[in-house]
């Protein structure tokens, strides 16, 4: 099928093909789907209809599980998932079975359906048809209902989560794959098996084709949508592409050794011992003066500096994610550097610090260590002690800040604008209701601070503004406040 618009959906077979298509600047909508996912199938019908309504844009499909390189490149953790491109850049994303939002976002990227008409999701009704919409809506209801009950925050039942945790930790090196090491059922699984054999490392495996509950649960548990998945000491290393890159750079073996994994030495017929002589700055590193100066500058660019795979909000390996979680639990402000974006730093820092794996945590320019050491220091209380000794301040978390703001006044209103100059009608109505009842209240203009604006939506589980709080408890938004005033409850409730 030609890679043009005109009401067609093209199946993408490689990242290079996707990059070439996106690179010409034409609006592109990319749908990550899976054959086992009912929501994907329903949304694919909507997607196909929208490709007809917007013939000047390109509509592409990727089977997430079969194209892990593309899925990992766009941090796909669930399907259906959509990525929107314009002028060669990602401009928006959408997760889940939401046909109305999909149509909105397509219209925004692609422009109007016909010259002279507004870009709006009106096409969805005539394109998708009532049958598809009804199916998607029903599916959404079912999914919403199923998330009640004994569910963990990741959407996994407690029993399944416990089972997955046991499986992940059942071997120091654990591979979840399609098939068995002796008979892999996909090329990606075969490649990882071959690499582990070349590394001379013993590993356990689980055939995810034999158990759909484990297969689907592990995607949510690991926040990783494809297989194979390789774990070391219970932490996700990644999929096929990451394992290949780590093997080719020599980093995979270093990670195994750093975490005490016994590696068979085919020449000696014995096991290598983990390298314990690490952590000191090498005097005769062999690095150029310019590289050494650059690394020294990066290490000292912040009191607490983490060199990791990925970013704090999007870690690319389990060990990096672990250290990020620890620093956030300890309420430590830190900066980070994604070593996957700069090979000079990635390779040079191993030599400079004489530490062969990542992440690496530095405090006031001194190497603390990797995830195992940081975790042990947290458990023993030594991490707080080191931070205090080096004079590193403990920064407040966003949650702490939101709690302080919410409790800064008995009656607290988060609004758009100020009481004297509201910036939206809903905020104006709540301000007037409070004033009419003679109630004193504090306020915060969420238009002046996007961190508070976005954070409060999650913190309160309330997606819109204004939000009214009384003694730290959310009362509600505009409709609830007006209803309480009309019922005569507003003043009594806020004066208790």
Structure tokens at 245: 């890159």
pLDDT per residue rounded down to tens, the chain (496 residues): 333 334 589 999 888 999 999 988 889 999 998 877 777 888 888 888 888 878 889 999 998 878 878 887 887 767 788 999 998 899 888 888 778 788 888 888 886 444 444 444 434 444 444 444 555 555 554 444 433 334 444 567 888 988 999 999 999 999 999 989 998 888 888 999 999 999 999 999 999 988 888 998 998 888 787 889 999 998 898 888 789 888 888 889 888 888 888 776 433 333 333 333 344 443 445 688 888 889 999 999 999 999 999 898 888 888 898 899 999 888 888 999 999 999 899 999 988 888 888 899 999 999 998 888 898 888 888 898 888 888 887 656 678 889 989 999 999 999 999 999 998 889 999 999 999 999 999 999 999 988 889 889 888 888 889 999 999 999 999 989 999 999 999 998 998 7
CA-to-CA distance for 446 and 398, rounded, in angstroms?
14
Select from 72, 397, 67, 37 the least CA-distant residue to 222: 72
Tokens 């990066």 found at: 298
CATH class of 289-389: alpha beta
Contacts 24+ apart (CB under 8 A), 298-304: 298/337, 298/345, 299/362, 299/365, 300/365, 301/335, 302/334, 302/335, 303/363, 303/364, 303/390, 303/392, 304/332, 304/333, 304/334, 304/335, 304/361, 304/362, 304/363, 304/387, 304/392
Domains 9-142 and 289-389 share a fold: yes
9-142 has CATH 3.40.30.10 classification: yes
- Looking only at the bridges linking them, the beta strands covering 204-207 and 173-177 are parallel
CA-to-CA distance for 493 and 490, rounded, in angstroms?
5
CA-to-CA distance for 178 and 187, rounded, in angstroms?
9
CA angle 359, 312, 444 (to 5 degrees): 150
Fold of the domain spanning 399-493: Glutaredoxin (3.40.30)
Tokens 């994604």 found at: 338
Q: Which residues pair with 267 in a beta bridge?
A: none
CATH class of 158-272: alpha beta
Please state the domain extents for the chain: 9-142, 158-272, 289-389, 399-493
């Amino acid at each position: 099928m030609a890679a043009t618009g005109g009401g067609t959906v093209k199946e993408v077979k490689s990242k290079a093909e996707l990059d070439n298509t996106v690179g010409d600047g034409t609006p592109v909508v990319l749908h990550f789907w899976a054959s086992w996912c009912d929501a994907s199938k329903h949304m694919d019908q909507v997607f196909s209809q929208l490709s007809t309504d917007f013939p000047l844009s390109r509509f592409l499909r990727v089977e997430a599980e079969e194209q892990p390189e593309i899925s990992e490149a766009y941090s796909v953790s669930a399907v259906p998932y959509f990525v929107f491109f314009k002028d060669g850049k990602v401009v928006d994303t959408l997760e889940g079975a939401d046909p109305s939002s999909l149509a909105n976002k397509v219209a925004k990227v692609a422009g109007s359906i016909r010259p002279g008409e507004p870009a709006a999701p009106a096409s969805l009704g005539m394109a998708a048809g009532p049958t598809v919409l009804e199916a998607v809506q029903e599916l959404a209801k079912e999914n919403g209902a199923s998330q009640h009950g004994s569910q963990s925050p990741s959407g996994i039942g407690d029993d399944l989560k416990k089972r997955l945790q046991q499986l992940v930790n059942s071997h120091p090196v654990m591979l979840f794959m399609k098939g068995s090491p002796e008979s892999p059922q996909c090329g990606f699984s075969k490649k990882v098996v071959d690499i582990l054999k070349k590394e001379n490392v013993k590993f356990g495996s689980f055939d995810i084709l034999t158990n759909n509950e484990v297969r689907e649960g592990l995607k949510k548990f690991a926040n990783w949508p494809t297989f194979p998945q390789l774990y070391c000491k219970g932490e996700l290393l990644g999929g096929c592409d990451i394992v290949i890159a780590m093997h080719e750079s020599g980093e995979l073996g270093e990670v195994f050794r750093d975490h005490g994994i016994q590696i068979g030495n085919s020449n000696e017929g014995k096991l290598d011992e983990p390298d314990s002589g690490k952590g000191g700055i090498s005097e005769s590193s062999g690095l150029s003066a310019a590289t050494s100066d650059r690394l020294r500058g990066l290490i000292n660019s912040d009191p607490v500096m983490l060199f990791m795979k990925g970013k704090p909000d999007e870690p690319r390996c389990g060990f990096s994610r672990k250290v990020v979680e620890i620093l956030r639990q300890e309420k430590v402000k830190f900066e980070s550097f994604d070593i996957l974006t700069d090979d000079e730093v990635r390779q040079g820092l191993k030599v400079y610090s004489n530490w062969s794996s990542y992440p690496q945590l530095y405090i006031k320019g001194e190497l603390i260590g990797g995830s195992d050491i940081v975790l042990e220091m947290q458990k023993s209380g030594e991490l707080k002690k080191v931070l205090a000794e080096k004079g590193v301040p403990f920064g407040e978390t966003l949650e702490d800040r939101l709690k302080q703001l919410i409790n800064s006044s008995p009656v607290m209103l988060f609004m758009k604008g100020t009481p004297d100059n509201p910036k939206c009608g809903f905020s104006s109505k709540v301000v007037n209701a409070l004033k009419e009842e003679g109630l004193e209240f504090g306020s915060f203009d969420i238009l002046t601070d996007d961190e508070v604006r976005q954070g409060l939506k999650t913190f309160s589980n309330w997606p819109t503004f204004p939000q009214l709080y009384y003694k730290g408890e959310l009362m509600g938004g505009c409709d609830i406040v007006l209803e309480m005033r009309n019922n005569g409850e507003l003043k009594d409730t806020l004066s208790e």
